[in-house]
Amino acid sequence: MKLLLSTLPAAGHVNPALPLATRLVERGHDVLWHTGEAYAPQVTATGARFAPYDHAADLRRLPAEPDPGSKGPAAGISALRKLLIDRMPGQLADYEALLADFPADLLVTDMCAVGAATLRDKGGPAYATLGINPLMTTDPEIPSFTSSRPPATSFLGQLPNRLAHFLTRKVLDPKLRAALDAHRADLGLRPFPRDRLTLELTRSPYLHLMPTTEAFEFPRRRLAPHIRFVGPLLPDPPADFEAPEWWDELAAYEGRVVHVTQGTVATDPAALLRPTVEALAAEDVLVVATGPNPADTVGSLPDNVRWTPFVPHAHLLPHVSVMITNAGYNGVLTALAHGVPLICAGRSEDKAAVSARVAWSGAGLDLRTARPTAPALRRAVHTVLNTPTYRTAATRISEDFARHDGPNEAAKLLEGLA
């Protein structure tokens, strides 16, 4: 099988595709991976061939940011338009150029590369999509993307969700559709079908792969059959890992290791790293901080804090008692795969939806803010460390994840589609 894989050049989009590409190559398939130049070494390490962005706009050329001066719903709509719709023509141009020399049997994209759907409308190959954030649908059980509510279990509980989905159809969708139809007209295509929401472009109608399981996803009464849960897509631990000099201290603090990470997108250390360091400076715990150096905003670090720009989670998390995170989807899935309970503090991108699932599953706390105070973090750490049910829930999810071989299950589904 010849397979064209396309991802936005950002860690949250590339990382889940790494183990999938590796497994596809191992199974004998010819994989051409279209993404940004910065990720070429990681792409070729999987055995796939690298194809750079050309016409397609990365997040530097076209930031997914609100239009200047826009506020409220208008700001969110313009950011979504730039993330999904305005980069579609460039994606399409790249796909057509690549397919001229590489006649792929199948196109696989992350859910933000909606050029694949347009290519299919022009007679291109079938395509699959890879979910890189929680599954968002307009089922009445499911709250809006920015909500911290759990799934609704009663008709009254569904009312806020139904209202949010109604507003999506009446306010958000028409503006995205207008932008999409303008691009489609330039390409000689008919308007997007009126019986479909524009946001449905983020999920292939043939196969949408979710890198999680239903143990960590809100239940739906009518889950579409083309949405398949395959389990986490986590890269193998790096074989050349060199432990920092303080590594042996982890064993001395068994049961009291707190890991705090600022993530890869919203990386302001003042948001999460600094208040965590302040909160736990006098506590009998070892704090392992990754991301921007918190000393830049705190000053000298307390004696119980160890900072490193990066450490592979596969090596660190087996020693961690609780992870404080801004709720990036990949990081949360990785923590749960190791049975580590979480404290979530994030609101941007998909982080409210991720945090809501952590709280609903019982595997941690949602602080419902991106900038928690030091006292709030201290209380949260004490709660999670001293309440065994959080670790129990995280372990339950970990065991469910372990029943799956995500890369292998995804590869088999793609083979079936092709």
Question: Over the stretch 159-186, which tens digit does the pLDDT of each residue have?
Answer: 999 999 998 899 889 999 999 999 999 9
- Under the banding of pLDDT at 50, 70 and 90, the label for residue 73 is confident
- The one-letter code for the residue type at 249 is E
- Under the banding of pLDDT at 50, 70 and 90, the label for residue 7 is very high
**249-311+320-402 matches 2-233+404-417 in CATH topology:** yes
- Under the banding of pLDDT at 50, 70 and 90, the label for residue 70 is confident
Query: Tell me, what's the pLDDT at 265?
Result: 59
Question: Over the stretch 78-92, which tens digit does the pLDDT of each residue have?
Answer: 999 999 999 999 999
The pLDDT of residue 345 is above 70: yes
* Class at the top of the CATH hierarchy for domain 2-233+404-417: alpha beta
Query: Tell me, what's the pLDDT at 145?
Result: 84
Average pLDDT for 2-6:
98
**Higher-scoring residue by pLDDT: 290, 394:** 394
Average pLDDT for 392-401:
98
- Under the banding of pLDDT at 50, 70 and 90, the label for residue 69 is confident
Average pLDDT for 385-410:
98
Average pLDDT for 216-230:
95
Q: What percent of the chain has pLDDT over 70?
A: 99
The pLDDT of residue 248 is above 90: yes
The pLDDT of residue 2 is above 80: yes
CA distance 292 to 418: 43
Query: Tell me, what's the pLDDT at 263?
Result: 67
The pLDDT of residue 124 is above 90: yes
Average pLDDT for 66-86:
88
Minimum mean pLDDT range among 174-183, 191-200, 297-306, 326-335:
297-306
The CATH topology of domain 249-311+320-402 is Rossmann fold (3.40.50)
- Under the banding of pLDDT at 50, 70 and 90, the label for residue 24 is very high
The pLDDT of residue 48 is above 90: yes
Query: Tell me, what's the pLDDT at 267?
Result: 64
Query: Tell me, what's the pLDDT at 239?
Result: 81
Q: What is the mean pLDDT of the chain?
A: 93
Structural domain spans, the chain: 2-233+404-417, 249-311+320-402
Prediction pTM value: 0.94
The pLDDT of residue 266 is above 60: no
